[in-house]
Structure 1
Amino acid sequence: MAYSKGKSYVTQSELAKMLNFSQQSISRKLKELEDDKLIVRIISKEGEIIRLTEEGERFLSSCLSSLKDAILSLHSLEIKGNIVSGLGEGKIFLSMDYYKNHINKVMGFDPYPGTLNIIIYDKLSLENRLLLDSSPSLIVPEYKQKDRVLGAVRLYPASINKLTPAAVVIPLRTIHPKSVIEVISPFHLREKLNLKDGNEVTIEVYV
């Protein structure tokens, strides 16, 4: 449960504002939590005050513990390579609302319209790239339009030269060999990181 300025409670209106939910949605969710005996709701002059029950505190503690375990279980794969120019296809696809909206939904950012292409040059980095094919990923699903099919894309949260947010994108249908990967970000990466063709970069892919 969120707390407000050191208080051990939060009002319904404060909670709705923090979570960017409507009052109606918050009321519905709170009713479910109350029915499950995870919270109590108290009417006061400040409005409706929400407190966790003892059972709610235990449940929250369990959720936080599970989240901590999940975070600690994350590991990264390091991939090094050199910047190369692409064919401009990334700009076309990332300008489409379908891909922009889905990437924002799963990655939490609006991608800059264009991908940064990196060619892998060492054995360990290529092995780590191949490991991605069998690693869990976020997915932008295939979408069939009347006159064409927008292919599915796998997304892996990443950093590039320690800059985040970013993601490695692997289209399920691609002309690139395994030795070439594409990185997206809300930033124009060439400008943000002062990169040009031939520069070496280090990508940390979180799997």
Structure 2
Amino acid sequence: MKRVQLLILLVRKGAIGRKIKITLRELAGELGTSPQSVLRLIEEMEEEGLVEREVVGRKTCVEVSPEGLAFLENLCDAISEALYNGVILGEVISGIGEGAYYVKQYSHLIKEYLGFDPYPGTLNVRVLFPKTVFDALCGVRPVILPGFTKEGRTFGDVKAYRVRIDGMEGAIVIPSRTVHPPKIAEIVAPVYLRKELGLKDGSRVRVEVVRE
């Protein structure tokens, strides 16, 4: 663990593509360990090819090697794969009342493309994990509900991602024009999810993204 922390600390200090001057005492203070332990870690990582070290007089300069950077990238990929696996943990919140209107406008498309008649409203879930809705949807291909014009008003494309909540089907819907990753997941379903699942504001829910 200390080894990973030290590598990350060196990267943050700019030890990529160049050697930087380090102070064992300073690194030890940031890692909550002793200078002797830091020196031992650096020596071990140098032997493993994770860092390159140069000692000139009393000065010690260290650079994270390409192997060290690859180690961190592989670790990052492994963590991302473990965490961002299509599961959203959130809490139910009240919307602003527009969900029913838009579900009504897109109901024919939801029926055609998702295969169910939607309840006239959405379940709004504030995402607690991961950071945004898009983090959970990474790598999942959406179902596109095409835009249309109705009574002189234009309704844009909507991206729909199939999900399950306690075994019940539904879909997260996101307007294609959305620029910023949303923290609120709006979910349409063929039933009134609040009633069927006994949910109220503040209820914790687990939303599983269906990967087709």
Q: TM-score, normalization: structure 2?
A: 0.55
Q: 2:134 aligns with which of 114, 129, 141?
A: 129
Residue of structure 1 equivalent to 2:104: 95
Q: 1:164 aligns with which of 168, 173, 184?
A: 168
Q: Take 1:150 and 1:103, find their aligned partners in 2: how far apart are those partners?
A: 14
In the TM superposition, what whole-angstrom CA distance separates every residue of 1:113-154 from its partner, at most 9, and x where no partner exists?
A: 0000011123xx226633526531101111123521112111
Structure 1 segments of 4+ aligned residues over 6 angstroms from their partners:
none
Amino acid at match of 2:92: I
Residue of structure 1 equivalent to 2:86: 77
Residue of structure 1 equivalent to 2:205: 201
CA 121–131 in structure 1, closer or farther in 2 if over 3 Å, else same: closer
> 2:127·2:133 contact (CA, 8 Å) conserved in 1?
no
CA 202–87 in structure 1, closer or farther in 2 if over 3 Å, else same: same
Q: Take 1:103 and 1:134, find their aligned partners in 2: how far apart are those partners?
A: 22
Q: 1:143 aligns with which of 141, 148, 158?
A: 148
Residue of structure 2 equivalent to 1:192: 196
> 1:115·1:184 contact (CA, 8 Å) conserved in 2?
yes
> 1:119·1:181 contact (CA, 8 Å) conserved in 2?
yes
Aligned length: 128
Q: Take 2:172 and 2:209, find their aligned partners in 1: how far apart are those partners?
A: 7
Q: Take 2:203 and 2:167, find their aligned partners in 1: how far apart are those partners?
A: 16
Aligned residues with identical type, % of pairs? 37
1:117 aligns with 2:124: yes
> 2:133·2:181 contact (CA, 8 Å) conserved in 1?
no
Amino acid at match of 2:200: K
CA 127–174 in structure 1, closer or farther in 2 if over 3 Å, else same: closer
1:179 aligns with 2:183: yes
> 1:82·1:198 contact (CA, 8 Å) conserved in 2?
yes
Q: TM-score, normalization: structure 1?
A: 0.56
CA 198–140 in structure 1, closer or farther in 2 if over 3 Å, else same: same
Structure with greater Cα Rg:
2
Q: Take 2:121 and 2:180, find their aligned partners in 1: how far apart are those partners?
A: 15
- Secondary structure of the residue aligned to 2:131 is helix
CA 100–146 in structure 1, closer or farther in 2 if over 3 Å, else same: closer
Give the alignment's Cα RMSD to 1 decimal.
Answer: 2.4
> 1:130·1:178 contact (CA, 8 Å) conserved in 2?
no
